[in-house]
Amino acid sequence: MGEKGVKQRFSQNDEFYSEARPRASLHPDATDAYSPSAAKLTSDVALFFQAQGHPLPAHSSAKSPSAINRFFNESSWSTRTVIVVIHAYILSQLLGYCPLGRRPWLQVIVDLTTLEKRGKFKAFASLLTVLQGKRGIHLVVLYLVVGQWRVPWSFRLYRGKGTSTPTQLALRLIAQLPKPLTQHYRVMVLADTGFGSVEFIQGVRKLRHHLIVGVRCDRTLTDGRSVSSLHKAGTQVRLTGLTLDVTIAWFSLKRDGQWQKRYVLSTRALKASPITWWGKRRWQIEGWFKAAKHRFGLHRFGQQTLKGMYRWLILSLTAYLLAHWAYLSTETASSSSFLDWAEAAEMALHQLLPQFAVLLLLLEVSCLQSLLHSQGFTIHLSRCKM
């Protein structure tokens, strides 16, 4: 497909469908199903499994940087097929999650993040904009949480002034959630203050979902008071411009060494304690942002083509979900709250790409031959039939 076709497809479908399933075995077939070429894809995905935050082509010990760049920018494998197959497989696993008791909640978290970039990228210069003092690619991300699953489900690009706003992009992402998923779970939309507009609140309610979203302390009520003038958490009020009643609560959050009062509103009639509990759950996406960027190199792309940049984002997110998947397949996933991403990524590499993991080991041994000889060691390797 030519660059023009890629650009058109990218502008219409800036989204990524991904991850999750509760405590099931991780099977290599999940990657074989969408692998365009095992010889090409394994080394490139393995780059992201280093989980050090800099999966650059120059750091690959198995392929040359030029070969990896050609894979991202020129190869004819279908990125859409990767997305669709992963999405379908994960969706089937999510729909199979049926814990005892009441129908579980699906937390749909929406937020905006910036992949900061410097330099010139002529192929997609129009996508590099400045927002809140940060220059780069701005992604509106829809993130799902249910049980132990943490799922970066889809994203869209914010293209700057004169285009669809982050609020409008977020509403489109929520509207595109598969109906089987929203029917299987009870849905609660969570967002920060940046999405607390009348358009977003009423848009989510039109989709028949409830939401809990941050609200500014100076938002006015229909009676002329401000949100900060409320004295009792859990009070039902109506904000200026809204056509429905909402419940306001607040909690204290420590930021930069100081405690700050954060207000949240709920479109569902709840007491103050459940509202603040849900309001704090929104911060789960911030942990994912840190892991995706500083462990799987989401923002470290250097490709000079739109196709290359898009593929980098997709494979980075794919590596994240496979590492998370590998972690959930362990016995300690349900008992431990600490997740070592480097360990999880290495586990995914060994389970999904065992031959490539062995290749990396052999290359490392080969590079250390002179050191081993100087210390009086000689290593002989042979392969047996299995």
Per-residue pLDDT of the chain (386 residues; tens, 9 = 90+): 444 443 443 343 444 433 333 333 344 344 443 344 445 555 566 667 765 656 666 666 666 777 777 777 777 878 888 888 888 988 988 888 888 888 899 999 999 998 888 877 777 777 888 888 888 889 999 999 998 888 899 999 998 888 899 999 999 999 999 999 999 999 999 999 999 899 999 999 999 999 999 999 889 999 889 998 888 888 899 999 998 999 999 988 877 778 888 999 999 999 999 999 998 888 888 888 888 888 888 877 777 788 888 888 888 888 888 888 888 877 666 555 667 778 887 887 777 777 767 777 777 777 788 888 888 888 777 777 66
pLDDT of residue 2: 43
> How far is 182 from 166, CA to CA, in rounded Å?
22
- In a domain, residue 380? The reply is no
- In a domain, residue 58? The reply is yes
All residues at 6 or more sequence positions from 320 whose CB lies less than 8 Å from its CB, including other chains: 19, 48, 152, 288, 291, 292, 295, 296, 298
- Output the DSSP codes for 77-129: --HHHHHHHHHHHHHHHHHT---SSSPPEEEEEEEEEEEE--S--GGGGGG-E
pLDDT of residue 274: 92
- In a domain, residue 274? The reply is no
- In a domain, residue 365? The reply is no
pLDDT of residue 126: 79
In angstroms, how far is CA 214 from the centroid of its own chain? 21
Q: What are phi and psi of 114, to 5 degrees?
A: -115, 130
The residue count of the chain comes to 386
> How far is 219 from 64, CA to CA, in rounded Å?
56
The residue range of the domain holding 40 is: 3-192+282-354
Specify burial of residue 168 (Cβ count, 10 A radius: 0-12, 13-18, 19+): middle
Question: What does the radius of gyration of the chain's CA atoms come to, in whole angstroms?
Answer: 23
Domain count, the chain: 1
All residues at 6 or more sequence positions from 277 whose CB lies less than 8 Å from its CB, including other chains: none
- In a domain, residue 238? The reply is no
- In a domain, residue 197? The reply is no
- In a domain, residue 172? The reply is yes
